[in-house]
Structure 1
């Protein structure tokens, strides 16, 4: 890649999340010695984003280079990618707008990171473009935001701390609100709705991507749709986001490439009490049914505050909501104290050991996500060796497991910690 390229180009800088990614790039640019540009459809809106980011960050950004690029105009994407070392793609829903950006990056020598939480898009990119990216020496790394770095790297952190063999990992995801509650931008909801609507795509896609099943343990993980979880003393329900899918891809890679024992994964969302659990299940059922139909999706997107109890709304969260929100993901790993030398050798007894780790940080969607995305991009730019990976489509734990990413995140207010050392079940 040419040294004349910008280190980072933030595509979709005028979007709700993109503006905060610009803030974060500006914040770290001096210490990381980065040259960056912003990209989008409107010169006027991009200039406004730079002016507002200057006010928020105290950085002089008005002279930051601007690239006019439209996800519906392939030639503009190609020209943008020729000017970038790493494209930070903030334009969603990715099922509609992501593939052309990935393709342009591969064909024009730019690495690509995104903040998608859409398993269909992410796994389709791996199926269609991993070989092409490898040939081009380009890295395509999806889900580099709250979806799903805390989960994926949290599990990687747990496997490093667990001294025996893991049999299962359960993720318990908590979003804590400040006095003004939680809120998300409607684009995130739109992505989720299309994920529900097209969930049937995943089975044939995964059959093509992974024709061989992973070995199954004699002691399978018992999952529940909802209930009280004694390991963490909270009410939970199955989490429908991308975390489990992302971690499963990393587990498979570690088994097939690094010859590490595979384990089962489950993900749950935590709620304050049984009442919240019951109401969430009821409205989740209603939204899930409506999401199957175009008129239902349109209705939800027209009145998001009604169908989500105000959690999603046009214009996203307020400044106070972003400043006071927090997240935590508790990772409960269960397995055996003894580590067998062969990943395919079965243990003769039930799991006997447990460890709990936690990943936590500031508000998930618009504070933690920009931090995580930018640190992933910095790690990719500065630490990934062509000699080891030679390009391809990866999850974060596939690519960044032996890098400084976790240390970088810790330095930037994303905490990784062991809550309970290994103990007997």
Structure 2
């Protein structure tokens, strides 16, 4: 019998959404999954809420209890962790999975923690066969698989890869949870005290293997007009993690998109004068937010008004949220003109990615659940052995149809004009 998925942190904000989603999927009782958390009272309450003939079993496990974590690993086909901030609570489970050869997925967006885990445990994961796949939520599945999908279309249409890809957030509706806020605050707090960490966080190749880091300078996004999408743009808040994951995917896949591959992300704010103003306000607002998180007095003040751990978007917002992303890829190639000289040409491929439900929670829970099922059921250890993978490098080809069939995502090729 297939070993179960285990949701660790089942009573957290995202964990509860994920458990409801898996329960809905398990209408025939064949999914085989369990819940795990440290509070038996909350787990029993979750069981009662789910109800029905296929109510999941639960296991007690605390992130600080190595014995309980290893017991989970011994039972699990894949462990899904929703226990964050991961930099504070995530390492013991990574250690247990690596030591027992257990596959693992999470939804972290904490670059500095991922780098630490790779440095400490990648060799052990390769030896034990544990496959660790971080960033299986809104950060960074849409970006990572969106680039992979566009590059597959580029090969079909152009016979080559795109040397530059831009991701633009066309529309977006969603909210923050207290867990996300806590993670962002912790990253800013760590960086404020450590100049080496600040340099690491500013490196677009921070998550690439040390022996295969490209050196090409990556685009730096500010408030600007982007002719490719006919809109003013501003920095996208998730860019700091998404770009690092995309570049790691390119490296782990053997640089199929080139050592000089360029990638950036931004939010579209409109083509009119108002779009320019919104772009400038957005760029300034993000800078001030991160500065506020880094300084103790303002961090304390902001924490009083932002969601607390366990709080987040309402069920209605989760249901009605969505995201609409545009990917624009440019090839870099040469062809001969009628004089026989070589002439540089640039061809363009455009794709879109639409996702139903609140990006960070409703959609993330579905993406995370499908990523774990894909890792357990669709990807053999012969094809993808132990190590630290990204969603695109480990799962892309079988995961995209899963996401379209069961998670409300739609990947499409679009004409030249948007």
Contact conserved, 1:162 with 1:422, CA < 8 A, in 2?
Answer: no
The match for 1:169 is 165
Cα displacement string for residues 329-385 of structure 1 (whole angstroms, at most 9, x for unaligned residues): 21111113669xxxxxxxx76551111111111120121111111111111111212
Q: How many residues align?
A: 391
CA distance in structure 2 between the aligned counterparts of 1:18 and 1:207, rounded to whole angstroms: 26
Match of 1:266 in 2: 264
Q: 1:29 to 1:270 in 2, by over 3 A?
A: same
Secondary structure of the residue aligned to 2:294 is coil
- The answer as to whether partners of 1:168 and 1:221 remain within 8 angstroms in 2 is no
The equivalent residue for 2:43 is 46
Other-structure match for 2:10: 13
Residues 16-415 of structure 1 correspond to what in structure 2 (within 5 A)?
Answer: 16-30=13-27, 33-54=30-51, 59-62=52-55, 64-163=56-155, 164-177=160-173, 182-199=174-191, 200-201=196-197, 203-204=199-200, 206=206, 209-214=209-214, 216=216, 222-241=219-238, 242-255=241-254, 261-262=258-259, 263-271=261-269, 273-304=275-306, 315-336=311-332, 350-362=344-356, 363-401=358-396, 403-412=397-406, 413-415=408-410
For 2:188 and 2:276, locate their aligned partners in 1 and report how far apart those are by CA, in whole Å.
25
RMSD: 2.7
Report the Cα distance in structure 2 between the residues aligned to 1:294 and 1:24, rounded to whole angstroms.
38
TM-aligned CA distance change 1:60 to 1:184, over 3 Å: farther
Contact 1:139–1:394 at 8 Å: present in 2 too?
yes
Question: In the superposition, relative to structure 1, how do residues 93 and 166 fare at CA in structure 2: closer, same or farther (>3 Å)?
Answer: same
Displacement of 1:60: 3.5
Distance in 1 between residues matched to 2:43 and 2:58, nearest whole Å: 7
Residue 338 of structure 2: aligned partner: none
Distance 1:148 1:351 in 2: 31
Q: Which runs of 5+ in 2 are unaligned?
A: 336-341
| 1:285-326 Cα shifts (integer Å, max 9, x gaps) | 322222223343232222127xxxxxx997211122112111
CA contact (8 A) 2:105 2:134 kept: yes
Contact 1:334 1:351 in 2 (8 A): no
